[in-house]
A and B are shown apart, each in its own frame.
Chain A
Amino acid sequence: MSLDEATVARIAHLARIKLDPKDAPALAGDLSRILSFVEQLDAVDTSAVEPMTSPSPQALRWRTDQVSDGRIQDKVLANAPDRVDGFFAVPKVVE
């Protein structure tokens, strides 16, 4: 699979990464090389195989549905780049 620059720009937008147009050709080359490398897997017959999602031998555990934490608003907000009245603040999203 060879990716063109338009596809790279689309992936960058999906990944929410601003791409400098001058970096696009090199990145398209790198990503194409990686995809060509992983396409070796096409040679493997997996028709009778279930996908493996985790090496863990256990199903997810259940726990009691009760509050075990909380009242740590200051700690949660301590590293926020911007905060207002106890909330995370972001650029305006609704006109």
Chain B
Amino acid sequence: MTALNHLTIAAALDGLAAKDFSAVELATAHVEAMEQAKALNAFITATPDRAIDQAKASDERRAKGEARPLDGIPLAIKDLFCTEGVLTTAASHILDGFVPRYESTVSANLWRDGAVMLGKANLDEFAMGSANITSYYGPVRNPWTRSDDAEAKLVPGGSSGGSATAVAARLALGATGTDTGGSIRQPASFTGIVGMKPTYGRCSRWGIVAFASSLDQAGPMTRTVRDAALMLTAMAGFDPKDSTSIDRPVPDFAAALSGDVRGLKVGIPKEYRVDGMPQAIEDLWARGRAWLEAAGAEVVDITLPHTQYALPTYYIVAPAEASSNLARYDGVRYGLRVPGNSLIEMYENTRGEGFGQEVKRRVMIGTYVLSAGYYDAYYLKAQKVRQLIRDDFDRAFEACDVILTPTAPSGAFALGDKQDDPVAMYLNDVFTVPANLAGLPGISVPAGLDAQGLPLGLQLIGRAFDEETVFRAAGVLEGAAGFDATPSLMV
């Protein structure tokens, strides 16, 4: 029998229903795997006792015939989701000791549906980063290694790097992530798993530590497309506590996985062919196109003319919103306080010591672009270009139903690379940021390996609130790719 921590969510639900094993056994297998994989640093806080308690309750429900949709499924929760009674850090020094007295809506939805919490996954500080190297709690290691240098420590991508490593290394059956500019999809690509960012408004942002409120969206990270569909069905839903939450029914996303893409129009945007992209990614993209064509889809060339402006737009809008959102960390209501002789000095000392370098850079860029005299030239300009980027997608979706692109311009790189120049790091998100700016759903599906034996993902972007088409096409892509490689540091 497959080790319990190697199952998919779908298979684990079947096994639990058939009484092949109990939720306690399933949780225990994961708690042990987490113990063995501590060197990966995927978790900031492990919650083994809570996992076993929740698993016991799950087994009791199942025995009474009251099993819920995800009953007994052990998950990692990105440490950006507030969890009642459990330390929540956002991987920042400034939230030292913060224990929320409330539960985020998305995690509460998962517990409502019977899921079990294994712990709080590591991430880039305040979700700002693309390599999970900005965490106050240290970097996360990717469980994949290079074929020519197994000793080199690779990054898992970011910001949901702990979630990605936990799922890829078989420490959790699934994990929550959040995606502001690619923070679910890029680490999914780097670790060979599935990562889905739903439409803006699909999942409630309430109780998630805010980074950039007009871009942030929660989503699932899993080992299969079906598992992502199952998890998103539980996570999504209208929430009056988030003013941008959308009041519309949540489909049964797994039911959309018909395997049939005949007649589906798949757009290939010519602007996503960037200089210096490895040949392996070019080739994989061409294969993805051929796979969908062979399954009966129609491939059409499309244009998204403002693509090159997406990253510069993002690096004005996101820091501006972050500088406003992070104003709340002032040493008064929660977390770290560093004393000062006056109130202002206390604020400055607390924030100077509590924020890491990347967070300081972004808060200061945001402060600058919102400051008197620069607001129109930077912030207002970026908001206008953002509209043009969205108009590009609206026009493209007149000619196609879903867009196929690479997820990231490279595979996983080594810890220490790209650290001298913040802009070089930002280029990781060149293919993922546009979907955030336009508020569209996007998924990364593991589709192949590069020359170093590292996983690469393909991305599908869909129309707003049409996750079902995205899942349907992703399921076909997954089936054709037949990705079954596993990381060398898997437990």
* In contact, B214 and A79 (Cβ under 8 angstroms): no
Interface of B is mostly: helix
12 residue pairs A–B, Cβ–Cβ below 8 Å: A15-B367, A17-B348, A33-B421, A33-B423, A34-B365, A37-B312, A37-B426, A50-B384, A75-B102, A81-B332, A81-B334, A91-B343
CB pair B200–A18 under 8 Å, yes or no, is no
Do B365 and A35 touch across chains, with their CB atoms under 8 A apart?
yes
B385 on interface, CB distance cutoff 8 Å: yes
Known contacts A78-B99, A81-B331, A93-B342: A55-B243 contact under CB 8 Å? no
Query: Chain A contact residues: over half helix, strand or loop, or mixed?
Result: loop
State which residues 8-66 of A face B: CB under 8 Å. Answer: 8, 11-20, 27, 30-31, 33-35, 37-42, 44, 46, 49-58, 60-61, 63
Interface contact B384-A49, CB-CB below 8 Å:
yes
Give a binary string over A82-95; 1 marks a CB under 8 Å from any B CB, 0 the rest: 10000010110100
Q: Kindly state the separation between the CA atoms of A80 and B333 in the bound complex, as whole angstroms.
A: 5
Q: Are B98 and A51 in contact (CB under 8 A)?
A: no
Taking CB as reference atom, which chain B residue is nearest A33? B423
Known A-B contacts: A20-B352, A33-B423, A52-B384. Give 11 more (CB < 8 A).
A14-B371, A18-B349, A18-B353, A27-B361, A55-B437, A60-B243, A79-B99, A81-B337, A82-B337, A90-B343, A91-B346
Q: Are B364 and A8 in contact (CB under 8 A)?
A: yes
Q: Is the CB of A78 within 8 A of B101?
A: yes
Q: Could you tell me if A50 and B368 are in contact, using CB atoms closer than 8 angstroms?
A: no
When distances are taken between beta carbons in the complex, the residues of chain B under 8 Å from A53 are 214, 383
Flag if B361 contacts A51 (CB, 8 Å).
Answer: no
Q: Give the chain A neighbours of B214 by CB distance below 8 A.
A: 53-55
Identify which of B100, B421, B439 contacts A55 (C-beta below 8 A): B439
Checking A35, A79, A91 against B97 with a beta-carbon cut-off of 8 angstroms, the contacting residue is: A79
Q: Is the CB of B343 within 8 A of A93?
A: yes
Contact residues in A for B243 (Cβ distance below 8 Å)? 60-61
Pair B342/A31 contact, Cβ less than 8 Å: no
Taking CB atoms and an 8 Å cut-off, the chain B residues in 177-233 that contact chain A are 200-201, 214
Partner of B360, one of A13, A17, A78: A17
User: Which B residues touch A35, using CB under 8 A?
Assistant: 365, 368
How far, in Å, is B255 (CB) from chain A's closest CB? 24
Q: Shortest CB–CB separation between residue B212 and chain A, in angstroms? A: 11
Q: How large is the interface on B (under 10, 10 to 19, 20 to 34, 35 or more residues)?
A: 35 or more
Closest to A20 in B: B352
Per the bound structure, the CA–CA distance linking A79 and B100 in Å amounts to: 8
Q: A3 contacts which chain B residues (CB < 8 A)?
A: 368
B344 within 8 A of A: yes
A49/B388 contact (C-beta < 8 A), A11-B371, A80-B332 known: yes
Q: 8 Å CB contacts to A: which residues of B88-137?
A: 97-102
Q: B423 touching A34 by the CB < 8 A rule?
A: yes
A68 to B413, CA, bound (A): 49
CA A90 to CA B156, docked complex, whole Å = 40
Closest beta carbon of chain B to A64's beta carbon, Å: 11
A49 to B426, CA, bound (A): 26
Chain B's closest residue to A38 (CB) is: B312
**Which chain B positions have C-beta within 8 A of A39?**
312
Residues of chain A with a CB closer than 8 A to B421's CB: 33
Is B240 in the interface zone, CB < 8 Å from A? yes
Given A75-B101, A81-B331, A91-B346, do A51 and B387 touch, yes or no (CB 8 Å)? yes
Is the pair A52, B383 in contact by a Cβ cutoff of 8 Å?
Answer: yes
**B491 vs chain A, min Cβ distance (A):** 34
